[in-house]
Structure 1
Amino acid sequence: MRRRDFVRHASAGLLAAPALLAAGRARAVEPVDVELALAVDVSRSVDAEEQELQFRGYAAAFRDPRLLDGIARGAIGSIAVCFFTWSDWNVQELLVPWARIDGRESGERFAAAIDAAPRRTHLYTSISAAIDYAATLFGQGYEGTRQVVDISGDGVNNSGRPLAQARADALSRGIILNGLAVLDRTPPPAQFANLTPPLDDYYRDEVIGGPGAFLMVAEGFQAFEGAVRRKIIREIASNPPPGPRVERAYA
């Protein structure tokens, strides 16, 4: 039973029977400030060095005292976070399952799990399938005041169902979609140069959505570590202040 439903039923006097109390305990979830699913692009446009920069950037973020201090300042003082990679419409891999982060030790465990996770590269870029997969992960032992998907990538959707459909379905469930667009300074082949919009515009207009949603733009993979730290600190704020819809990070 979800925590807010439990409170509502209790106030109505519906949980007096021992059997109902036992059922409530059996379905108990742990309250956290935010449920945060980290979705990392491992399509073929991300080479081995760039993939390593992404993994190291996320690991470094959860070792950063500024991030851990932000978590401690929440109403509950903890968040739940998981880490998965995505590529083709049928390729999503949960590398680090849900974990509660509430301080230096739990942050280090999560960072170490990212360090130890396998690095694999696939082909296409299915942001839609990444959103669909992320939506299935929430509510697994934790209940946050917000459910947030943090999607990092360097390309547009080119596999799976239309992105607009996946985005609309997630937003209808109250899931917030934030983006971390990585601007690769290697120009695309000339025949593709005019076929897609600028990636930052694409993520802003087609990917992010929900209350307070925003886009962090990393100006190249070398800027990724600073971008991801700033992004997560903003995402975990208990009462996120109004901020720019698009932020930029530079190496």
Structure 2
Amino acid sequence: MKWLAVAIALIFAQSIDRFVEAAEVDVQLVLAIDVSSSVSWDEYGLQMQGVAAAFRDELVIDAIQSGPMGRISVAVTQWAGLGQQKTVMSWRVISGPEEAAALADDLGLISRAFPYGGTAIAEALDHAYALFSRDGNISQRQVIDISGDGKVSIGPSPDATRNRIVNKGVIINGLPILDSAKDLEIYYQDHVIGGIGAFIEIAATFEDFSRAIAEKLAREIRSTWQGV
């Protein structure tokens, strides 16, 4: 029976580790990045480099450290068509420039999850929402930050999915990239974003993505305690 006692001790120790690692954070944030066929490889690079640069930006670092807890929890997904959603970075707690820089460095090493595919926004939102149940941290605010350069091309309109997720208390913010769809801002406003204080930050082009994502992250992180 000695082996049983050892096994129980290991399970107990692992449970304690998970408890110790859990933290109360200001916001749990899922970044959902579009890698559908409309996104070229250069544009994919601009998105990932933009997200990485945002976590090195003093605007974002200051927003994180200014919160009541002074830390946030972040996960990153990539999405395209039906069945094409992948978590490319599991939950990480960020509380200062060192952790943010480490996250940025890791983002720069992430390969594109799907080389092509349609634009299935509803499935992307469902996948992003499911990630909250896998985060050992807790917060008063859960946010999905979805970016993309097009409207739904496959699967249902995101309205019903958006409404179901928002009714669970989650906020969905959008970053439409207007390269090929100049009315995408209106589409995101009407069909994608939702929840208390939900907002859109526009990127006029993929080259503008870096600026847009930094300003968007700072705003949605600060919204946690400023009630924006």
TM-score (norm 2): 0.87
> 1:126 aligned to 120, 126, 137, which one?
120
Farther-moved stretch of structure 1 (164-173 vs 53-62): 164-173
SS at match of 2:202: strand
More strand by percentage: 1
2:156 equivalent in structure 1: 161
Pairing 1:181–2:181 present: no
1:144 corresponds to which of 123, 139, 143: 139
Q: 1:26 to 1:62 in 2, by over 3 A?
A: closer
CA distance in structure 1 between the aligned counterparts of 2:210 and 2:163, rounded to whole angstroms: 29
Amino acid across the alignment from 1:174:
G
Q: Give the Å deviation of 1:241.
A: 5.3
Aligned residue type for 1:121: P
Amino acid at match of 1:43: S
After superposition, residues 57-68 of structure 1 pair within 5 angstroms as 57-68=50-61
Alignment partner of 1:114 is 2:100: no
Which residue, out of 191, 213, 219, partners 2:198? Answer: 213
Structure 1: gaps spanning 5 or more residues: 1-23, 188-196, 243-251
Structure 1 residue ranges (4+ consecutive) displaced by more than 3 angstroms after TM superposition = 24-29
1:56 aligns with 2:41: no
1:222 aligned residue = 207
Measured at CA, do residues 41 and 223 of structure 1 come closer, stay the same or move farther in structure 2, by a change above 3 Å?
Answer: same
Q: Mind listing any 5+ residue stretches in structure 2 that lack a counterpart?
A: 1-14
Task: Among all aligned residue pairs of Structure 1 and Structure 2, give the percentage whose two residues are the same amino acid.
Answer: 39
Displacement of 1:27 in angstroms is 7.7
Query: Which residue does 1:77 correspond to in 2?
Result: 70
| Structure with the largest fraction of helix | 2
Scaled by the length of structure 1, what TM-score is found?
0.79
CA distance in 1 between counterparts of 2:17 and 2:164 reads 29
Higher relative contact order (CA 8 A, sep 6+): 2
Match of 2:218 among 220, 228, 233: 233
